[in-house]
Amino acid sequence: MATWEHLGEVANVVQLTGLDAVKLIGLIVKASHTARMHKKNCVQFARHLRLIGNLLEQLKISELKRYPETREPLEQLEDSLRRAYVLVQSCREKSYLYLLAMGWNIVYQFRKAQNEIDRYLRLVPLITLVDNARVRERLENIEMDQHEYTLDEEDREVQDVILMPEPSKDSTMVLKKTLSCSYPNLDFKEALKKENAKLQLELQRSEANYDVDRCKVIQHLIEVTEAVSTSSLPQVSSPKKGSKKLEPNYSDGREKDDSPDEGYHKKKVSRTTSRLDFLGNLFM
């Protein structure tokens, strides 16, 4: 299972050092509005964190950090929020196709993030002991705000398309539609190039982390962008004049179905199908 470090540069987490929980939540809420993928999950996650931010503002974090009993769990909470920011930010910056392919994996990360943040919040002793009706009400609202993170039906359909063994005309049409929404200011060719470049960068990161399974997924996505790009190029028809249709030569006695090209095609399909079986198992 992927870790948050795979979803963004560790340097991004380091850059957030020094920001308290309320400020981190503000950044996450802002980032959620610019997400290109997992938009509903990002907004839902940000809405939950806003409830926590309102509670922490009322309790005044600076005062809570004066006591060792509350400082440590608050620092753990802030660490979780930094990783959560990287998660939400990745839904805007990373390859759209990559985020689609890793859809259920990222859904799991949202679930894990909310559970972890809520757990650290409950570890702050003074929060649960404060005898204040407004504080208790906000704590109850946070505990009751348990929505389900999931992958939209439309995203599932696109995920199925990009994990197909061989891109088809339907695949090209689906990708054109989805990429036009993700890259409204670019034409289809330019969007494919941008996706390919992001996937190449993602491949380098996964190779650096020795993540073999993830490398296979990304390599497949790169092949999809290249295949779709090639198939959508305008075909130049050859001159009809002087053209001659080549007939296969079966003088050696082989049947047509047993030709070398056909055998190679069968092997290629077999290899591709096996690769897609692996991809399917990875996301189950």
pLDDT in tens, the chain (284 residues): 444 444 444 446 666 777 889 999 999 999 999 998 899 999 999 999 999 998 888 777 777 777 777 788 888 999 999 999 999 999 988 999 999 999 999 999 999 999 999 988 887 765 655 556 677 777 788 888 888 899 988 888 888 888 887 766 777 788 888 888 888 888 888 988 999 999 999 999 889 988 898 899 999 999 888 888 776 555 444 444 444 433 334 334 434 343 334 443 344 344 344 444 544 444 44
- For the chain, what is the largest distance between any 2 Cα atoms, rounded to a whole number of angstroms? 95
| Relative orientation angle of helices 212-231 and 169-182, to the nearest 10 degrees | 100
Q: Quote the CA–CA distance of 188 and 175 in Å, as a whole number.
A: 9
Nearest to 160 by CA among 209, 118, 233, 103: 103
Q: How many residues does the chain have?
A: 284
Q: Quote the CA–CA distance of 224 and 232 in Å, as a whole number.
A: 12
pLDDT of residue 138: 79
Q: CA separation (Å) from 73 to 64, 119, 121, 152?
A: 10, 10, 7, 34
pLDDT of residue 50: 94
- Residue 9 host element (H or E): none
Structure tokens belonging to residue 100: 């689609």
Q: Quote the CA–CA distance of 51 and 277 in Å, as a whole number.
A: 42
Using DSSP, state whether 68 is helix, strand or coil. Answer: helix
Q: Quote the CA–CA distance of 107 and 129 in Å, as a whole number.
A: 33
Structure tokens belonging to residue 142: 């946070």
pLDDT of residue 177: 83
Structure tokens belonging to residue 139: 């704590």
pLDDT of residue 129: 55
Contact present, 217 and 6 (Cβ < 8 Å): no
162 dihedral zone (left: phi>0; alpha: psi -120 to 50; beta): alpha
Q: What number of H helices and E strands is found in the chain?
A: 14, 0
Q: Quote the CA–CA distance of 48 and 149 in Å, as a whole number.
A: 12
Predicted model pTM: 0.73
pLDDT of residue 175: 81
Q: Quote the CA–CA distance of 150 and 41 in Å, as a whole number.
A: 7
pLDDT of residue 133: 67
